[in-house]
């Protein structure tokens, strides 16, 4: 297998050192996607309601879909269809003209809505620092009817708004046979364990987690099926954890691990994300913490699957992925110093976050995972001394009040407290006190994304605060469901419905992989606290979907 030609020249930085053996193994593991149809459930409109998170609520405008198919639509008219569940797939429909001869083309705007905002705000005047070509609308021209319209692009949506921008005034349109051909690596007949939880909120959180994960499981674990439609390392780590407790598709995780191992750069670092199309290509994005987390991804996989062989095969890659992060350690203090390199340190999209202490905890966490992987592989743990040094150095990050502080301004943040707790840098009681005090501190920097909220929740569970973890989960992911989530979102600010890392909420992803981990915690570390019965009942994914559609239909009937 020859090294692919990159889809575009990689910008700056070390170049890729292709491992075509790993690339070939990844290609052999590529899944055949399942395909199944879904049809709209209701015709709706949104009306103002400030009691709702988005400030609007849906209302049915037709009793049945048969009424809709019998309806005629003139120029300048529009309608919104509700499919009752989030989907990833390809839209098709039949259009017929009625009246005089169709003496001018019909121009349609189709807007594919993951959230109510998508189909109510419009897609004009969007001010965002990422490309507006991600916006989920399409302009289609139909020369003559009848016509079967099949959209070639894959979309991610629950709602579909159809606007008849213009057409001949002499005729009207009818729409029928509207369908979405859904796609995923997980099919309707695939089995997943269903648990009885102690309250409905947790049951819904688990169900929406599964639907989020399923829709992101394509030929790779995509970060978001609407945006960015690619594989990111940090997202992969959380998706894989959720997968181990639910769908158990070990081959898809293995494929993604091999893909990253195939594109290690000349300095042994691993890129933050990769592209499948038009050819397998590494991104020029690099994130220090994602690079280090590759070691944890491999450890998690070996532990969950028992596949010792891949651990041995990728052991050199695991050792290499930590080099960049280790180069940030100050030789005098033993602390992680972000200023010792210009590369991106992420942790969260929260702009005000100081990343010093959180990065120290994350790196220590990765070193300890590498040491545990070494023991599984029969190797000598390579980072025991460095882990001890970093653990001793972390004492300087605790202030007199027992809070973790970060950076020159001694910032208090959830990220710092969570990652230092997860790393085991402090005795459990010390970590518990620091974490709980941080959650109660009025000036602590809170997470913006479910990505960091996951690590806060996992830290709470690890230090023995399981009830507090459940409260956080109910108050964050549960609030997302109250707000109308069918799949969990890329970012969620309960106090600001238009908050966006990108400057405009219309470029947010409302089905995002890094938000699916409640199912991992609920079925794992929190199981004894949240399950009515530890013995699950096998159910199909189709049954899971049907129950959600029944739920959303019942909610719509209430209003």
Q: What is the pLDDT of residues 188-219, one digit of tens each?
A: 999 999 999 999 999 999 999 999 999 999 99
The whole-angstrom separation of Cα 444 and Cα 467 is: 21
- pLDDT computed for residue 558 by the predictor: 85
CA-to-CA dists, residue 188 to 439, 499, 541, angstroms: 40, 34, 5
- pLDDT computed for residue 336 by the predictor: 98
249: Cβ contacts below 8 Å, ≥ 6 apart: 31, 185, 186, 217, 243
CA-to-CA dists, residue 283 to 5, 8, 240, 480, angstroms: 13, 9, 21, 31
- pLDDT computed for residue 533 by the predictor: 84
- pLDDT computed for residue 28 by the predictor: 97
> How many CA atoms within 13 Å lie on the side-chain side of 22?
19
Domains of the chain: 34-184 (2.60.120.260)
- pLDDT computed for residue 4 by the predictor: 54
Query: pTM to 2 decimals?
Result: 0.97
The whole-angstrom separation of Cα 230 and Cα 220 is: 8
- pLDDT computed for residue 11 by the predictor: 41
Residue ranges for the chain with pLDDT beneath 70:
1-13
CB 120 within 8 A of CB 211: no
- pLDDT computed for residue 12 by the predictor: 43
Coil, strand or helix: which one is 475?
Answer: helix
């Amino acid at each position: 297998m020859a090294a692919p030609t990159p889809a575009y020249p990689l910008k700056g930085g070390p170049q890729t050192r292709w491992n075509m053996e790993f690339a070939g193994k990844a290609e052999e593991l590529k899944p055949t996607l399942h395909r199944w149809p879904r049809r709209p459930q209701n015709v709706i409109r949104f009306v103002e309601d400030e009691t709702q998170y988005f400030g609007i609520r849906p209302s049915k405008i037709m009793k049945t879909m048969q009424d809709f198919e019998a309806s005629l639509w003139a120029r300048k008219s529009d309608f919104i269809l509700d499919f009752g569940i989030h989907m990833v797939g390809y839209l098709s429909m039949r259009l017929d003209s009625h009246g005089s001869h169709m003496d001018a083309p019909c121009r349609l705007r189709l807007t594919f809505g993951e959230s109510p905002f998508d189909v109510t705000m419009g897609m004009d005047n969007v001010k965002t620092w990422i490309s507006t070509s991600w916006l989920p609308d399409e302009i289609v021209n139909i020369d003559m009817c009848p016509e079967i319209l099949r959209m070639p692009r894959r979309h991610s949506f629950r709602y579909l708004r159809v606007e008849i921008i213009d057409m001949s005034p002499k005729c009207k349109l009818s729409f029928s046979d509207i369908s979405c051909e859904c796609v995923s690596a997980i099919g309707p007949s695939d089995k997943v364990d269903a648990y009885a939880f102690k309250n409905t909120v947790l049951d819904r959180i688990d169900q929406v987690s599964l639907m989020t994960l399923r829709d992101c499981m394509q030929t790779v674990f995509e970060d978001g099926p609407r945006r960015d439609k690619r594989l990111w390392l940090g997202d992969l780590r959380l998706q894989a954890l959720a997968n181990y407790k639910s769908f158990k598709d070990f081959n898809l995780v293995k494929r993604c691990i091999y893909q990253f191992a195939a594109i290690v750069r000349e300095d042994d670092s691993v890129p933050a994300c990769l592209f499948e199309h038009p050819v397998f290509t590494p991104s020029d994005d690099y994130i220090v913490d994602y690079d280090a987390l590759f070691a944890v991804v491999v450890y998690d996989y070996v532990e969950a699957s028992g596949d010792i062989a891949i651990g041995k095969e990728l052991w050199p890659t695991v050792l290499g992925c930590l080099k960049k992060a280790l180069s940030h350690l100050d030789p005098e203090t033993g602390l992680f110093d972000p200023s010792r390199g210009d590369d991106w340190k992420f942790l969260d999209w929260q702009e005000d976050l100081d990343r010093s202490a959180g990065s120290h905890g994350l790196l220590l966490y990765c070193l300890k995972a590498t040491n545990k992987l070494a023991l599984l592989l029969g190797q000598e743990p390579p980072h025991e001394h460095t882990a001890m040094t970093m653990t001793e150095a972390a004492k300087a990050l605790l202030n007199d009040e027992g809070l973790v502080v970060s950076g020159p301004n001694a910032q208090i943040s959830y990220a710092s407290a969570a990652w230092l707790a997860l790393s085991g840098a402090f005795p459990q009681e010390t970590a518990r006190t620091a974490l709980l005090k941080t959650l109660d501190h009025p000036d602590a920097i809170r997470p913006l994304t479910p990505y960091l909220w996951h690590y806060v929740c996992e830290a709470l569970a690890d230090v023995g605060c399981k009830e507090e973890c459940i409260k956080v989960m109910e108050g964050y992911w549960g609030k997302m469901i109250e707000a109308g989530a069918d799949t969990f979102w890329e970012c969620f600010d309960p106090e600001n419905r238009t908050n966006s890392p990108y400057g405009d909420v219309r470029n947010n992803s409302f089905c995002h992989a890094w938000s699916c981990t409640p199912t991992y915690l609920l079925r794992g570390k929190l199981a004894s606290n949240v399950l009515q019965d530890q013995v699950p009942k096998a159910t199909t994914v189709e049954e899971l979907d049907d129950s959600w559609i029944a739920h959303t239909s019942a909610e719509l009937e209430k209003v």
